[in-house]
A and B are shown apart, each in its own frame.
Chain A
Amino acid sequence: MEDFSVIGKSMPLMDGVEKVTGEGIYGVDAQLPGMIHGRILRSPYAHAKILKIDTSEAEKFPGVYAVVSAKDMPDRRVGVSLKDEYIFAKEKVRYVGEAVAAVAAVDIETADEALQAIEVEYQELKPVFDAQEAMRDGAPIVHEDLGRYEQSSYQIRFMRPVAGSNVASHIKVRTGDIAKGFQEAAVTLENSFRCHRIHHCYMEPHAVLVDYKKDKTTIWTNGQRTFDIAVLIAGLFNVPVSKVRVINTKVGGGFGGKITARLEPVAMALSKKSRKPVKIVLTRQEEFSTFGGQHSAVVKIKSGATKDGRLTAVEMETVWDAGAYTDGGISVASLAGGAGAPGPYRVANLKIDSYLVYTTKPNPTALRGMGMQQIAWAVESQMDILAEKLGIDPVEFRLKNAFEEGDRSATGEILDSVSVKECIAKVAEALEWGKGPNLPNRGKAICTWHKFSAPGTTSSAVVKVNGDGSVILLTGATEIGQGSNTVLAQIVAEELGISVDDISVTSGDTDATPFDHGTFSSRVTHHTGNAVRSAALDAKRQILEIAAQMLQPMEVTPQALELKDDRVFVKRNPEIGFPFAEVALSSRVLYGTPILAKGSFRGRGSHLLDPETGQSDKPAASEWVYMAQGAEVEVDRETGEIKIVKLVGAYDAGKAINPLSVKGQLLGGMMMGVGLSLFEEMVYEDGRMVNPTFMDYLIPTAQEAPPMEAIIVEKPHPAGPYGAKGIGETSIVLIAPAIGNAFHAATGVRINDLPLLPHKVLKALEEAQTKTG
C-alpha cells in the first residue's frame, strides 16, 4: 500500500465557501454593461413545413436590437455525432419547441412581446411520436436527407444511419452461435421492458452570455464541454477558434444535460447582429419541454441458461427514442445498447441489435448513466426472473456468470480491474442477504452492472509554480459541482508535497487552460486526473533540477532529492534542503526558468467497432467500472406505495481520491435513481410535454430521501491515476431493477414498465390476485 499524504483523504470542496455564502458567479449571474436579453421563438407543431418566416414587424418593435432566424445563419448543420440539426429550423420543424427564430431586446418582457410579432406560416405534416411506430414501413420520415448527413470528426463515423428510414443508427453485436446457445439452454425466457424518459433537473437552467466583437468574441457559459463550444461557434461563424474565447461560469449542475451547446450559437447570432452582449437564460418550462432528458427505450430480451445457472445465450433488441435529432444518442445506442448491453456477465453467444430512432419529439440528450439504467432495468429484471425459474438464488446466479479478470467483453475486449464479485459481496453483507425474518410485504434484491467511460478522449493540464511556492493548476475540464477541481488539486498537492490550500485551480477557459474533452462520461478524475498528475510530475522534475543547481557544488543529482512537506531536501540527509518557496523563487530570479509544466493523457479505446459484429481489437470504453446495488422495500397494498426501507450500493472507484465527494456523487445518483424508479416521468401528449414544471414533474425532496449507504470499493485501474476510475454516473443505473426485483420479492408481482407508480402497483397486485384467486 502506497503511503499518500493527500490522496484518499476526504476534503471539502475548494470552492465550497463561495457556494455556502452565495458569492459564486453562475451562468445566471453573469452580466456586462449594455447587455441585452435574448428569447427564442419555438415551433408550436411537432412536424411541419415552414412556408414563411416574416420578422419585419418584430424588427421594428421598440427596444428590439436584433431578430435572427435560419436565413441569418450559415447553411450548416451541426450535431454531436451526426450533423442533422440546424441552429434555427430550416424548411421543416421536427418537434414542439424547436427554435425557429430569436429576438434580443432591452429586457426579457420586450423580447417576449416581439416574439409574438414574428409571423411564421407552417404546413402541418404527419407526426410520429413512438419509436417503434417510426420503424414501421410507411411511417412519416423525420429526416429525408438522412443518408446524406455528415458525421462529426470527433466521433469518427460510427453512426450507422439507414437512409430512407427513421433509423439514425443500427448497432449490432454478434458473438458465438446464438442458435446453438439457445439449444444448450435448459430454460429460455423472453420478456419486454420499457424505461421512460426523465429529465436532468439540474437546478440552474442553461445560461449563456455572448459578447461578440469583431476582433474577439467572449462567451460565458454553464456548459459542460467548453472547448467544443469554441469549435462549434468558430465553425458556424467562420472564424478561427482563436477568435472565440469560452469561459465557464460556475455550473449549477449538469448531469449530461449541459453537454450539447444549443444556446451559444443563438446568443452569438444575436450579439453579432446587435453588436451588444446578449444573455439568454432558459425558463424551467423551456428546460423541460425543449431541452433534454434521457432516451426512453423498449428492450426485448431473450435469454437462456443451463440447469445449473450458466447463461448460454442472450438476444436483445433495443429501440431508443432519439426524438428529432440524434445529439448524444449514438453513445447511448452504441455503448449502452451495444457494447455494454448484456451486463457484466460472461455470455458466449450474443445477438444484440440497438436502434436509435427518430421521432417528432424534442430530442433527449446525454443523461447520467448514458442509457445504462434503461438497459439494466431490462437485463437485471430478467436475471431475477431467470434465477427464479431455475430455482437458484439470484445473487448466486449472478456470481456464477459474473465477469472476472481476463474475461472478454461483448466486443472482444479483455477486461481488467474487474470487481463484480467484490461489489456484490459488500452489498450482500450490508443488506444481510439471505438472513433475517421474511416480513410480510417486504422484499430485498441485489443487482450488479458495469458502466463505461467514453473511449479515446483526451485531457491536458498545466501547472505553474509562483515565486512564493503557491501553485496554479490550469485544466480544461469543467467543474460542474462534482468536485473535480478539488480532486485535481489533491493530485498536484500529493506530487509536489504541498498543501491543497496553496493551490488554485482555473478550469474551463479555452484561452487560459489547455485542451480537455470536457466533463462527461465520468471521465474527469480518470483522464484529466492522469494529465494533471503528469503535469505535476513534470513540475516536480523541474523543481528538483533547480534545487540540485542550488545545492552546487555539492554535486547532488535531482534523483537524490525529495519533495515533501513544503520542502525540497536530500533524501539521505533531510537536513540539507530548502523550503519549496525558496526553490520556486530561485527558479524565477536566479535561473530564469520559472516552473511551467504540462501533462496530457488519452484514454483507452475506440468507438470504431465492426459494423456487423461489434467486435474490435480495441476496447470499446476507456474504462469499465463495476458496481452492485441492493434494495429493501416495503409495499403498501392499500395505497400502492413502494416504500424504500434501505438502499445499499457498492461502487468501485479504483482509488477514491476524495472519498467525501465520491460518496456525495454516489448518494446523489442513487436519489436520482429513486425518482426515476418511483415517480419521475416526462409525459407527452401529441409530442408536447404536459408536465413541464416542478409542480407537475416531481423530483425527490428531503422528505423522500430513504436511508442510503454508499460503499466505496477500491480495485485499482491499471490506467487510472493512483488506480482511480470515474464513478459519477454509476449509482443511478441499478436503482430501478433493485427496487423492481425487491418489489417482486415482496409481492410476487412484476411490473415491466417504469416508473413504478402507485396506480400501476395497485393494478398489478389486483391482477395477480385475480389470477391466483
Chain B
Amino acid sequence: MPDAECEIRVNGKLCKVNIDPSTLLLDFLREKLGLTGPKRGCETGYCGCCTVLLDGKAIHSCSILALRAKEHEVLTIEGMESDGKLHPIQQAFLELNAAQCGYCSPGMIMSARALLDSNPAPTRSEVSRALAGNLCRCTGYLPIIDAVLHASQRTR
C-alpha cells in the first residue's frame, strides 16, 4: 500500500506527514518524529510504557496504527511542559521520587494527565485504577499514586 498523506496534530503542532499504513503510532512517533519519550516495553499492549493521549484519552500507542491519529490530536510526554515549566504532574513525580529508573514514567505521567484532565479531584482508588494499565517495577506504585494526588491538589 502506498504511504498515506495526512495531518496529525502532535503536541500542539500540526504535522503534514506521509505514513506507511502499517506503521504503529508508537513507531511513527519515535522514528518519524523523533519523539522518544514514549517507550516500548512489550509487544502485547500490556506494559503501558508507550502511553500517549489521543484526543485526551490515554492509549497504548504500540497497539494502534498511526493512521488512526489522522486529523486527531496526539499529546506525548514531550508536550507536557508549558512555557519551559514542568507540568504539575511532572513536578510531583520529580519531588516525590515517583520516577526511579524512569522508563515507565512518560507513559505513567500521560495516564495521570488523562485522569486529571477528566477528573481533577480523583480518590486514591480512582488513581490506582487509572494507572493499572501502566506497569512499574521500581517504585512499588505508592510514590506514583501519591504524586498524582499531590498534583491534583496543586492544579485544583
Contacts and interface: CB of A to CB of B under 8 A. Distances in A.
A729 to B, nearest CB: 13
Contacts of A665: 100
B94 to A, nearest CB: 4
B128 A661 contact: no
A649 to B, nearest CB: 11
A29 B38 CA distance: 10
How many of chain A's residues touch chain B, expressed as a range? 35 or more
A501 interface: no
B104 A660 contact: no
A700 B139 CA distance: 11
Contacts of A149: none
Given A670-B140, A671-B141, A22 B78 contact: yes
Given A12-B95, A252-B103, A284-B43, A702 B144 contact: yes
B57 to A, nearest CB: 18
Nearest to B127: A702
Contact of B39 (A13, A26, A481, A667): A26
Interface string B93-130: 11101011111111001000000000000000001110
Interface stretch (A201-209, A393-401, A712-720): A201-209
A57 interface: no
Contacts of B140: 664, 667-672, 705, 708
B139 to A, nearest CB: 5
Contacts of B42: 284, 693-694
Nearest to A255: B137
Interface string A731-745: 000000000000000
Contact of B100 (A28, A200, A285, A483): A483
Contact of A660 (B46, B97, B134): B97
B60 to A, nearest CB: 11
Contacts of B77: 20-22
A702 B102 contact: no
Secondary structure at the B interface, as helix, strand, loop or mixed, is loop
B45 to A, nearest CB: 9
B25 interface: no
A258 to B, nearest CB: 11
A17 interface: yes
A52 interface: no
B71 interface: no
B142 A672 contact: no
Interface in B60-94: 76-78, 80-81, 86, 90-91, 93-94
A24 B102 contact: yes
B94 A16 contact: yes
A695 B80 contact: no
B100 A703 contact: no
B101 A708 contact: no
A142 interface: no
A25 interface: yes
Contact of B46 (A15, A18, A693): A693
A23 interface: yes
A253 B101 contact: yes
Interface residues of B, number: 52
Contacts, number: 176
Given A22-B106, A204-B101, A664 B78 contact: no
Contact of A13 (B44, B47, B99, B131): B99
Contact of A251 (B40, B43, B101): B101
Given A204-B39, A252-B39, A708-B142, A702 B101 contact: no
A14 to B, nearest CB: 11
A203 B41 contact: yes
**Residue among B37, B100, B136 with the highest chain A CB neighbour number at 10 A:** B100
B135 interface: yes
A285 to B, nearest CB: 7
**Residue among B43, B93, B141 with the highest chain A CB neighbour number at 10 A:** B141
Contact of B102 (A20, A660, A668, A695): A20
A311 interface: no
Nearest to A658: B97
Contact of A668 (B80, B94, B131, B139): B139
B4 interface: no
Given A203-B103, A703-B128, A20 B90 contact: yes
B100 A694 contact: no
A21 B86 contact: yes
A126 interface: no
Contacts of B139: 664, 667-668, 671
B132 A21 contact: no
Nearest to B90: A20
Interface in A55-95: none
30 contacts: A12-B94, A16-B97, A18-B102, A20-B94, A21-B77, A21-B90, A25-B36, A26-B39, A28-B39, A203-B47, A203-B49, A204-B39, A204-B101, A252-B101, A255-B137, A284-B41, A661-B100, A663-B97, A664-B138, A665-B100, A672-B140, A693-B42, A693-B43, A693-B44, A695-B46, A701-B132, A702-B131, A702-B134, A705-B142, A708-B140
Interface of B: 35-44, 46-47, 49, 76-78, 80-81, 86, 90-91, 93-95, 97, 99-106, 109, 127-129, 131-145
- The 6 A-B residue pairs whose C-beta atoms are closest, nearest first, are A22-B37, A481-B101, A19-B102, A252-B103, A667-B140, A671-B140
Given A19-B101, A253-B100, A701-B134, 5 more contacts: A22-B38, A22-B105, A25-B36, A29-B36, A205-B41
Interface of A: 12-13, 15-26, 28-29, 200-205, 250-255, 283-285, 480-483, 660-661, 663-665, 667-672, 693-695, 699-703, 705, 708
